[in-house]
Amino acid sequence: MKIAVVGTGYVGLVTGTCFAETGNYVTCIDIDHRKVEKLSNGQITIYEPGLEKIFLRNLKEGRLDFTTDLASGIKDAAIIFLALPTPPGEDGSADLKYVLGVARDLGKILTDYVVVVDKSTVPVGTAEKVHAAISENYNGPFDVVSNPEFLREGVAVDDFMKPDRVVVGTRSERARKSMTELYAPFVRSGNPVIFMDERSAELTKYAANSFLATKISFMNEVAQLCERLGADVDMVRRGIGSDDRIGKRFLFPGIGYGGSCFPKDVQALVKSSGEVGYEFKILEAVMDVNERQKLHLIPKVSQYFGGELAGKHFALWGLAFKPNTDDIREAPALYMIDALLEAGATVSAFDPEAMANVKALYGDRVKFAENQYDALESADALLIATEWNEFRTPDFMRIVKSLKNKAIFDGRNLFDVDAVKELGFHYESIGRAPSK
């Protein structure tokens, strides 16, 4: 099948590459000339484990190409995916200007029947808006389908190639047939393609992300309580997670959720609810809890230094919003950096993949280290914001040698409290007793 993917970011590039991997001819379209040039030359533009190998293979075998030109990119495509940004607008609702802008442009160039698929996360009713935007200039046949994406950055290729489920919102038999054919290779082990109407599909994506964000914020509140009541959140987590109804996953407390999805999607669902006269109270609380949690470590650090952060220098391990990605959108680490700089402290940071993105934002207001140990040089304490695997079993002796104080503030609960205590560290984490 010939496929076009409009928007070649984290979702578009993975989508395009994975569809090419199953034998389709895929053209990815992006307005960013530099991105398209790099990709056309075989240079991958995001860090995503496993992606580069299949990207290069499909590029070489001529099943994947890139262009900035929408008209030539969609030529002969049976399905056009829109994987465009839907950032929060000023009022918190999803800004549809990219999606509807491209839909209008499509209306000017379509000539034959095509399936246009909303892959972006979009509010309920967007499929109808996309339909209307295309129809402004095109009166031939087409269908608009909602096919929200559930991949997770860091494991995106696996998630895309072996999805738990594929959600397809369409009431058109013709579109259903195309989508069934396209996704057949991805669901051979029996995971379902769930067909539903467009509105239900659109809401499914927001409900899924909002539920997961709720689970995280719930656990962060339990952790807050543990700190005040002298309970250990690791034990509580294990205790409740072994109940099948609750499940083990997404119960790890930390310094809040970030990324380009949870924060904006929870906010957008609250906004959509408000627009139809419903106050989604749980999600309002989820957002409040997350805001508070992002800076949870800062007062602990401040207290350790007698309330004075000015002039202190901190090592920060982890910048990406989660491990195995270079994505720093809404990363808790950035909130910590802002708070520390504002208090007059300085920061030396290390992240295996995300430093270039942070440097583009902060320039030389933050120092970037060659490796995790260089970041510790002359630092007053170590702060941890992302649970990269390589931070889990560090050389504690090197940490002791480099840090001015044996103090670690861990926003991701990487270490065993007793083990670190034995090494003589002042160690504070989330929802567990500090070792002093």
Residues that bind ligand NAD (CB under 6 A): 6-12, 29-32, 35, 83-86, 98, 101-102, 120-121, 149, 151, 153, 260-261
* 228 token code pair: 């005040």
**Is there a catalytic annotation at residue 261?**
yes
- Say which residues have a Cβ less than 8 Å from residue 176's Cβ, sequence separation at least 6: 168, 170, 195
> Closer to ligand NAD at the Cβ: 191 or 405?
191
> Closer to ligand NAD at the Cβ: 151 or 315?
151
The helix/strand count (H/E) of the chain reads as 17, 14
Q: How far is the CB of 314 from ligand NAD (least distance, A)?
A: 29
> Closer to ligand NAD at the Cβ: 261 or 430?
261
Residue 140 is classified by DSSP as: S
Contact 428, 434 (CB under 8 A): yes
79: left (phi over 0), alpha (psi -120 to 50) or beta: beta
Which of 18, 28, 226, 261 is flagged as catalytic?
A: 261
Neighbours of 200 (CB within 10 A): 15
Residues 155 and 49: their CA atoms lie apart, in Å, by: 7
Chain centre distance of CA 429: 23
Q: How far is the CB of 256 from ligand NAD (least distance, A)?
A: 17
φ and ψ at residue 307, rounded to 5 degrees: 85, 5
Q: How far is the CB of 104 from ligand NAD (least distance, A)?
A: 10
Contact 38, 16 (CB under 8 A): no
Contact 265, 283 (CB under 8 A): no
φ and ψ at residue 117, rounded to 5 degrees: -115, 125
Contact 1, 7 (CB under 8 A): no
> Closer to ligand NAD at the Cβ: 8 or 204?
8
Q: How far is the CB of 152 from ligand NAD (least distance, A)?
A: 6
Contact 226, 236 (CB under 8 A): yes
Residue whose tokens read 């290069």? 56
Q: How far is the CB of 165 from ligand NAD (least distance, A)?
A: 14
> Closer to ligand NAD at the Cβ: 45 or 293?
45
> Closer to ligand NAD at the Cβ: 32 or 221?
32
Residues 271 and 265: their CA atoms lie apart, in Å, by: 10
- Say which residues have a Cβ less than 8 Å from residue 49's Cβ, sequence separation at least 6: 154, 155, 157, 324
Q: Alpha helices, DSSP H only, in 41-142?
A: 51-60, 70-74, 97-109, 126-135
Task: Tell me the one-letter amino acid at 105.
Answer: D
Q: How far is the CB of 372 from ligand NAD (least distance, A)?
A: 25
Residue 67 is classified by DSSP as: E
> Closer to ligand NAD at the Cβ: 15 or 372?
15
Q: How far is the CB of 103 from ligand NAD (least distance, A)?
A: 10
> Closer to ligand NAD at the Cβ: 212 or 420?
212
Q: How far is the CB of 26 from ligand NAD (least distance, A)?
A: 15
Residues 123 and 119: their CA atoms lie apart, in Å, by: 12
Nearest to 71 by CA among 129, 15, 133, 114: 114
Q: Which residue is nearest to ligand NAD (CB)?
A: 9
| Exposed/middle/buried for residue 109 (C-beta within 10 Å: 0-12, 13-18, 19+) | middle
Residues forming the active site:
261
